[in-house]
Amino acid sequence: MPKSIRDPVHGSITIPDWCVRLLDTPQLQRLRRIKQLGFASLVYPGANHTRFEHSVGVLHIVLSLKNRMECSDREKRECVAAALLHDVAHAPFSHSSEVLLKKYLRFRHENLIPVLRRTEVEDVLKEEGLRLRRIADIVSGKVTSIVSGDIDADRMDYLVRDSHYTGVAYGVFDLVRLMERIKFRGMEPIIEGRALRAAESLLLSRFMMYPTVYHHHVCRIARKMYEKALSFCIESGMLRPKELLRMDDYDMVTFLRGVEGYPGEVMRRLDERRLFKRAIYVSRWRIHSERIDASRAEKEIAEEAGVGEEEVIVDAPEEEEARELRALVEIDGELKRLEEISPLVKALRDAEKNSLMLGVYAPESCVEKVAKAAVRYFGIKESIQRKLDEVLPIW
């Protein structure tokens, strides 16, 4: 029997019986215990929603679109399964563990095969005549961009959902209009020209949400503290990297609270919101070097400042590819990329490059010493230290 789920974002969602069976597997139930936004609740107290809710939201969007797809019934069902399973390989605190998965396992959360092979999920898929390999290819964007690609169901849901739970209105865009004006050529989604403004509003929402929520400096500080503590545990042999793929947030908090020394102290700081402070915080474009070796920088800054290496965190996020720019829009029967026909999109692309910030963080007791060492290390001129929200060596 299908089930109805009441969702705060999309309203009543009807879940097909075979999808309910997937939802009831341990692999998907684990997502109830993984926060969608990692440590964002330290800034936005309402941001306690989970990967499970988001997965149901993505499922709803793909279910709404699938009947327009020009493919077999089995391929449509595989796209639906991909929507539900696309985040099942997330580690604790979602993207906060992503760097560690890449570093120690060469693994991305889109890689479903190692996580789902010989599990209850694969059993359900086999009973339904669906192919795990094909579903994994859909999640990675190799087959269609409906779940992961240009303007896809994943970001359609997470922008409005994250906006709802954080209370940040920037993530709101005309989702219904955009969904109504998507058609397909084969399995590939095409945006009708009449929905151009809705597509632009999604991109504008994404641009505003990144500095406001996803790259908010407190979120970044907490995330980097967690990364450094967990990396310490892995390097010290306290935790095997593969364990990350089966743990949830509760497991990780319990583990870190039980570790003595630096990792335990970091977890206590996160528990009590006694976070490191910004020593410097400056636009990446002001730094001459495009690529920054964060580990080396931390070591050298700590040495010059006369503090322990564990007291310095260098946060140098890389520019993320805005795949939405490549979304196809049909104008008078001709397909064009969104970036080719929208001046707003071009402006957002350039503005986003300048929004990335380089941060150096340290405990409050040594933040001034670390700030001075970091300014010298990165060659930051005094003339650019005039904005409180760019460089904060003392405050």
CATH superfamily of 3-215+322-352: Hypothetical protein af1432 (1.10.3210.10)
Cα separations in angstroms, 100 against 170, 240, 357, 365? 30, 11, 21, 28
Tens of pLDDT, residue by residue over 102-125, are 999 998 888 899 999 999 999 999
* In the chain, domain spans: 3-215+322-352, 276-318+356-395
Is the predicted pLDDT of residue 20 greater than 80, yes or no?
yes
The CA distance from 127 to 124, in Å, is 5
Confidence of residue 232 (pLDDT cuts 50, 70, 90): very high
Tens of pLDDT, residue by residue over 377-393, are 998 875 444 443 444 44
Q: Tell me which residue has tokens 């069902």.
A: 77
Is the predicted pLDDT of residue 364 greater than 90, yes or no?
yes
Of 313, 307, 306, 290, the closest CA to residue 231 belongs to 313
| Cα angle: 113, vertex 187, 108; to 5 degrees | 30
Mean per-residue pLDDT over the chain, rounded: 91
Q: What is the pLDDT of residue 356?
A: 84
Amino acid at 210: Y
Report if pTM > 0.75: yes
Q: How many residues does the chain have?
A: 395
Mean pLDDT of 169-192: 92
Specify whether the CB–CB gap between 2 and 14 falls below 8 A: yes
Q: What is the pLDDT of residue 388?
A: 39
DSSP 8-state symbol, 35:
B
DSSP per-residue codes, 97-117: GHHHHHHHH---TT--HHHHT
- The strand ranges marked E within the chain are 3-7, 11-15, 182-185, 188-192, 277-283, 313-315, 328-331, 334-337, 357-362
Is the predicted pLDDT of residue 231 greater than 70, yes or no?
yes
The CA distance from 122 to 132, in Å, is 7
Mean pLDDT of 53-76: 96
The CA distance from 376 to 385, in Å, is 13
Specify whether the CB–CB gap between 155 and 119 falls below 8 A: no
- In this structure, the number of other CB atoms found within 10 A of the CB of residue 250 comes to 11
Q: What is the pLDDT of residue 294?
A: 92
Q: Choose between 169 and 30: higher pLDDT.
A: 30
State both tokens at 138.
């859909």
The CA distance from 170 to 294, in Å, is 31
Q: What is the pLDDT of residue 323?
A: 66
The CA distance from 186 to 324, in Å, is 19
The CA distance from 352 to 368, in Å, is 30
